[in-house]
Amino acid sequence: MTIANDIQTEQSYVFQASVDKLGPQVTEGKGIYITIEKDGKIHKNVLDAITGAAVGALGWGDEEALEIMDKSARASTYSYPCLISNKSSEALAKFYIENSPEGAFSAALWCSSGSESNENALRIMRQYYLERGLPNKVKLMSRESSYHGFTLGAQSMSWNPRVEPFEPYLMDRKKINIKIPCAYTYRYKKEEETEEDYARRLIDDLENKIVSNDPDTIAAVVVETLPGSSLGTTPPPKGYLKGIRELCNKYDIIFYLDEVMCGTGRCNPNGRLNCWENYLDPCDAPDIQTVGKTLGSGYVPIAGVLIGPKIKNAFLNGSKAVVGGHTYSCHAFCCGVALGVQQKIKRENLTSNVFKMGNLMGEKLKNTLLAKSNIVGDVRGVGGFWSVEFVKNRETKEPFDISLGVGPRFKAVCFDNGLSVMGMPGNPDGSCGDRALLAPSFIITEEVVDDIVGKMVKSVAELTDELKSEGIF
């Protein structure tokens, strides 16, 4: 019996991540802390500074959230969304629209993941142009070092090393998916440029690509408002998103923002939901926007597509119907839980809290990490979403060789110090260095901020010393 039990603890029956052994497993969570079982050892009170993948808002084990789930489960009856709707999905859509700038959105579709939301956005855009009698508008313009999801359509819009092995199954990456430069101020803004100059250079490049690829064939410009794991929370330079909006207006192109990681309250300056409100006026809102992660705060799998008036009106003036649908789209239980979660966040002003505390965390990380000689080259982010990029040389911004696995190594050092972060490897071509991401729950306090910063500083110092002893730094 003992031998059988030992085997069971080592073998995984789930086909994801590492498949040759059982990886770390979360066994419990309460507030900002999680308990993790790793290699047979229980690690309690690990400070969760990433909330999985920027998913958590309320913290774990929230009693009211559990009550919301119970209430929603008892009130929900499954309905196939193509045939019968439900009140919870309508109420959630109404909440999101009313808590966004007036006129920004007029409808929403709910689904089960961020990848699925981007997949649905592709279908909606295609039908939008067919409704308007413009079948040739099919090309998608998206940025290098971008990531929009794990499904094939979402990967087709993405440009990063994780996508490349699947290219044979993706949409045409030369004729349909057009790559445009990323907005990455730390590495690509010239020394003599202002942020506005850099933004103008990017916009000019985008317009040249639109013209050279025939504007009558361009369907959308797709941008992560604040990139996540692919690039590390680099904010758009001043005027950049506004410039894209103006080009989309000029050439009749959909302005499409992906806010799956950065949206739904994680980076909003107004106590509301959308990250783009940091950079755009309501009149410049996106035509279509995808959201996810903190929408259900990890208590239910839910994401969504927000539809602007321009998109909805084309359907209203055309077929008045959406072609197709997923079995679990607009699921009553998930929508009911997400609505309750968002109402609690609003009532307790948690979006404002994470914006304030998150920016405080970012400033303290900058002031402490960049003031010392270590492997940190840049600290960047907005509100509750921050990144630290590691470099071999601060002056030249030379990244570490990806074979060294500095990002994943940093994650392991942080774990040993009782902190959970996302550690990402650099790009093979050196276009982005190893980095660590932070996305704590909205409930963080100044005391928690100091704890995160203290553990980050300790972990950076330890890894810096390790790399020095190895002759690498």
pLDDT classification of 9: cutoffs 50, 70, 90: low
Do 343 and 359 reside in the same domain of the chain?
Answer: no
Strand partners, 381: 386
Domain that residue 372 falls in: 2-60+350-469
Do 459 and 416 reside in the same domain of the chain?
Answer: yes
Do 197 and 232 reside in the same domain of the chain?
Answer: yes
Do 151 and 242 reside in the same domain of the chain?
Answer: yes
pLDDT tens readout for residues 87-98:
999 999 999 999
Percent over 90 (pLDDT), the chain: 91
pLDDT tens readout for residues 107-118:
999 999 999 999
Give the residue from 319, 347, 375 where a domain finishes.
347
Do 215 and 354 reside in the same domain of the chain?
Answer: no
b/e sequence 351-362, b meaning 16+ C-beta within 10 Å: bbbbbbbbbebb
What is the side-by-side order of every strand in the sheet holding 25-30? 25-30, 33-38, 41-48, 419-420
Do 281 and 177 reside in the same domain of the chain?
Answer: yes
Do 391 and 295 reside in the same domain of the chain?
Answer: no
Whether 434 contacts 388, CB under 8 Å: no
Query: Which CATH number do you get for residue 460?
Result: 3.90.1150.10
Do 325 and 364 reside in the same domain of the chain?
Answer: no
Give the residue from 288, 312, 347 where a domain finishes.
347
pLDDT tens readout for residues 217-248:
999 999 999 999 999 999 999 999 999 999 99
Provide the H-helix boundaries in 11-99.
51-54, 63-75, 87-98
How many domains does the chain contain in total? 2
Mean predicted confidence (pLDDT) in 287-305: 98
Give the residue from 347, 374, 409 where a domain finishes.
347
**Where do we find the tokens 């029956």?**
13
Do 8 and 72 reside in the same domain of the chain?
Answer: no
Q: What is the mean pLDDT of the chain?
A: 95
